[in-house]
Each structure stands twice: as C-alpha cells, then as structure tokens.
Homo-oligomer: A and B are copies of this chain.
Amino acid sequence: MAKETIALTPAMPKCWNPDSKPHKFCPGCGHGLTLKMLGQAIDELGIQDKVIFGCDIGCSLLSWDFFNVDSVQTHHGRTTPVITGIKRARPELIGIAYMGDGGGYAIGAQHLVNAATRNEKITAILINNTNYGMTGGQMAPTTLPGQITETTPFGRDPEDSGYPTMGPEMVAAIAREGAYVARGSMANLRQLKRFLKKALENQMEGNGFSFVEVLSSCPTNWRTNAEATWRFVEKDMAEHFPVGEFKVPGKKEEK
C-alpha cells in the first residue's frame, strides 16, 4: 500500500507540551530521549500537577517549556538549590532538578554533593554527554580519556586533566539511607524509565535524595552520525561508566 498523509496524534507523553514541539534539541540528542522517559514516568505516576521541573543552563535549558508541568529555568549549576528551596517550602510538590554534567559535576558540584549529604527530598537528573553541549563542545568532567573536544584539541590527557568524574559512585559514597542513586543510559530505555520512576517514587515516599545520571548522546558536538552515536553511547561510554543502581532505599547500611 502506498504512503499517504494522514492526521494523527504522535506518541508523546501526555505531560509533554505539544506547543513547544518539535523540541529545541538537536537531531539525535539524548536529552530528548531522557525527557521522553521522564514524561512517561510522570504520566504513569500521575503526578503532572505536582511536579515542578527545574532546568539548568546547558542544553537542559532548551527544556524550559518542554513539559506541561510548572517549570523554572535557573542558572548554570544552580538548579539543585532552586528545587531544594521549592521543596523545602512546599514538601507536597515533587521537585525535579534537570542538569548537564557541567552543571552538576563542575560548577554546581558543591550543590549536588551537599544536597546528597543533607538527603534533600528532591530528584536530580543529570545528562552525561561527556562534554559541554550548549557552549559548543568543550571538555566536561565526564569527557573520556583521549576524547577530542574544543578545549582538549589533542584529546583529553588524564595526566593533565584526570579521568572522567564518576558521579553516581561519588554521590553513593556520601548519600545515606533513603537515597536512591543510579546510572541509566539511553541505550536501555526501559531500564532508564524504571530508574527515573524509582527516583520519583523515592521522593514521593519522602525517603531522601534521588539521583540518576543518564548516559546520553550529543551528536552535534561529537560530530557523529547515527551509527557512531549509538556506538559511542553503547560502547565507549559504557566502558567507562557502569550502568545500574548504586544505592537503593530500604537497604540500611552502616557507614
């Protein structure tokens, strides 16, 4: 049968804001996939009216009007404290702090670390795309050894600037009972959604801090085509960043 043009409703999560679609992310960007999983998680949990979505500066800012949930776009690295303030003020709301690896591990590392320490009852989602996407592809704390970026034109040299930050590992080392810490990947969307959902449920149950890092593509700055994009996420990144849950509430641990 021939290809024909019809009118149809796309399979967007209910909480997506159709007026801002097509969204502002580049073709093939992992932000879009993560936000799809997050949207599905919000839909499935039925919390669209309770979520406050905060996005950082970095490509995450492009999601400022992404959802039909009340949203605030903050400063680079500062989404964690803004969402913390919202949550402290109104614990009945569900706060999501959405940021990049630069925002979370570099300029905002003190906020991430201390939100984890204090066990803030918020959900932080961090896009690990091994570079600073929005500013055009500089080295991020997560940049892979040897990876060429705008500020490591000869490849990241671990002798000079170290190895990629292991975020969830770090957060798990300081977070305590009630915290949920995981690393998902756009290479495993079902798992990613499960992690995101658990991270939200953990907040809804009032257990403590939830943190999910997401291995995510940046085809624009990596200068990859679709095949190379998948390869980078599934092979190169996976080699450096183990995917899984690092801390699950309920399991009481002695530190």
Binding site for B on A (CB under 8 A): 105-110, 113-114, 117-119, 141, 158, 160-166, 169-170, 172-174, 176, 240, 255
CA A84 to CA B160, docked complex, whole Å: 12
Check if B110 sits within 8 Å of A107, measured CB to CB.
yes
Q: Which of A107, A113, A240 has the most CB of B within 10 A?
A: A113
Query: A119: shortest Cβ distance to chain B, in Å?
Result: 4
CA A82 to CA B141, docked complex, whole Å: 20
Q: A106-B114, A114-B106, A141-B117 are in contact. Are A173 and B162 (CB under 8 A)?
A: no
Query: A161: shortest Cβ distance to chain B, in Å?
Result: 5
- Chain B, residue nearest A242 (CB): B255
Check if A173 sits within 8 Å of B172, measured CB to CB.
yes
Check if A166 sits within 8 Å of B105, measured CB to CB.
no
Check if A113 sits within 8 Å of B109, measured CB to CB.
yes
CA A106 to CA B113, docked complex, whole Å: 8
Question: Out of B108, B110, B165, B172, which one reaches A108, CB within 8 Å?
Answer: B110
Which residues of B are found within 8 Å of A174, using beta-carbon distances? 165-166, 169-170
Q: A105-B113, A113-B113, A117-B141 are in contact. Are A166 and B173 (CB under 8 A)?
A: yes
CA A105 to CA B111, docked complex, whole Å: 10
CA A108 to CA B109, docked complex, whole Å: 9
Check if B163 sits within 8 Å of A117, measured CB to CB.
yes
CA A150 to CA B113, docked complex, whole Å: 23
Which residues of B are found within 8 Å of A109, using beta-carbon distances? 109-110, 113-114
CA A109 to CA B166, docked complex, whole Å: 15
Which residues of B are found within 8 Å of A162, using beta-carbon distances? 117-119, 176
Which residues of B are found within 8 Å of A107, using beta-carbon distances? 110
